[in-house]
């Protein structure tokens, strides 16, 4: 399979779905002439024109509200929000309308809407552009929430999201846009609701959320030097959660660490830890540990920002705690 950039895999998914189904269109700020803030939509305006690649004013609530109306009317909009922080301006539309309309109309009306949400820190974009708000969307019934970490999954999950009849919050870590990976040439979907076992191990399970799944894989390599064999699970789908894969893994390893970039208080890791404790309590040989970002607004200063995000070193340290190894202060 050819290797492609994460951003290119997303672009291919959009292009192929727009070619396959003329109901699919993109809408958002700077996605047309500028090619998108992260160059994901580059070239789509030239191919599909301004009726299907719609540049908008800076008005997130209007963008999402218009897309919801279009989805109800039979189209399949893909919204790009410049950063997940800005989606808070459209939170009312997403939670009160997109998530609830199918339920409120007894299933007679669907909302086949995708909202692409770049997020995460590491680029000195400061507090209003850098957070990981996965929990804000994963907690809402009626929304599907996914977070791909490989170019293959970026393309496959975006295709699956566009084709479903439900609203999908599509979380993209900005730190992954320039990563490379193999992407199949044929048409395929990555199933929503299915986690990926990235590494098989026996001593503990590390569950990673979004980019932290990638760092968990690097930490697992480091843990080999400590004679610790870690299994790494890329959660990939935050709602619904693939409890079956998580249960099978923890029943085998008997230990678990959950890692996310967002805040741990009320975070995705809290839900995973609580859910596993309910389901596999008798199989646990140690408490489930959670690792997340520092509970502060994201700093602008480069070193402070780095300190606020879980690193490979942090994951290794917490993994050693889970397996009962003494860790130097």
Q: Which residues form the catalytic set?
A: 60, 129
Task: Identify the burial level of 237 via C-beta atoms within 10 angstroms of its C-beta, where 0-12 means exposed, 13-18 middle and 19 or more buried.
Answer: buried
The span from the CA of 230 to the CA of 178, in Å, is 26
The answer to whether the CB of 259 falls within 8 A of the CB of 310 is: yes
Tokens representing 279 are 């389901």
Q: Please, what is the Cα angle at 94 between 258 and 296, to 5 degrees?
A: 45
Number of helices and strands in the chain (H, E): 12, 14
Which residue, 145, 149, 166, 155, is CA-closest to 240?
145
Task: Identify the burial level of 324 via C-beta atoms within 10 angstroms of its C-beta, where 0-12 means exposed, 13-18 middle and 19 or more buried.
Answer: exposed
The span from the CA of 294 to the CA of 59, in Å, is 30
The answer to whether the CB of 93 falls within 8 A of the CB of 70 is: no
């Amino acid at each position: 399979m050819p290797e492609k950039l994460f951003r290119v895999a997303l672009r291919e998914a959009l292009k192929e779905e727009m070619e396959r189904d003329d109901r699919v269109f993109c809408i958002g700020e700077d996605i047309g002439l500028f090619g998108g803030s992260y160059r994901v939509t580059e070239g789509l305006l030239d191919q599909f024109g301004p009726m299907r690649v719609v540049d908008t004013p800076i008005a997130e609530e209007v963008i999402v509200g218009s897309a919801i109306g279009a989805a109800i009317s039979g189209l399949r909009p893909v919204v790009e929000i410049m950063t997940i922080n800005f989606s808070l301006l459209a939170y009312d539309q997403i939670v009160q309308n997109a998530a609830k309309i199918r339920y409120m109309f007894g299933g007679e009306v669907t909302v086949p809407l995708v909202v692409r949400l770049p997020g995460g820190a590491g680029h000195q974009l400061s507090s209003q552009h850098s957070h990981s708000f996965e929990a804000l969307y994963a907690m809402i019934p009626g929304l599907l929430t996914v977070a791909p970490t490989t170019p293959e999954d970026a393309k496959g999950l975006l295709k699956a999201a566009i084709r479903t009849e439900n609203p999908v919050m599509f979380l993209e870590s900005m730190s992954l846009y320039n990563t490379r990976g193999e992407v199949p040439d044929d048409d395929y979907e990555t199933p929503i609701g299915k986690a990926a076992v990235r590494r098989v191990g026996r001593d503990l399970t590390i569950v990673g959320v979004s980019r932290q799944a990638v760092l968990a894989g690097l930490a697992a390599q480091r843990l080999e030097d400590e004679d610790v064999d870690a299994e790494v699970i890329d959660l990939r789908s935050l709602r619904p959660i693939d409890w079956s894969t998580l249960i099978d893994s923890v029943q085998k390893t008997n230990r678990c660490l959950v890692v996310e970039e967002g805040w741990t208080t009320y975070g995705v890791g809290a839900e995973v830890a609580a859910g596993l404790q309910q389901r596999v309590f008798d199989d646990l040989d140690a408490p489930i540990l959670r690792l997340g970002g520092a509970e502060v607004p994201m700093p602008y200063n480069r070193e402070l920002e780095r300190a606020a995000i879980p690193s490979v070193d942090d994951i290794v340290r917490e993994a050693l705690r889970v397996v009962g190894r003494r860790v130097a202060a």
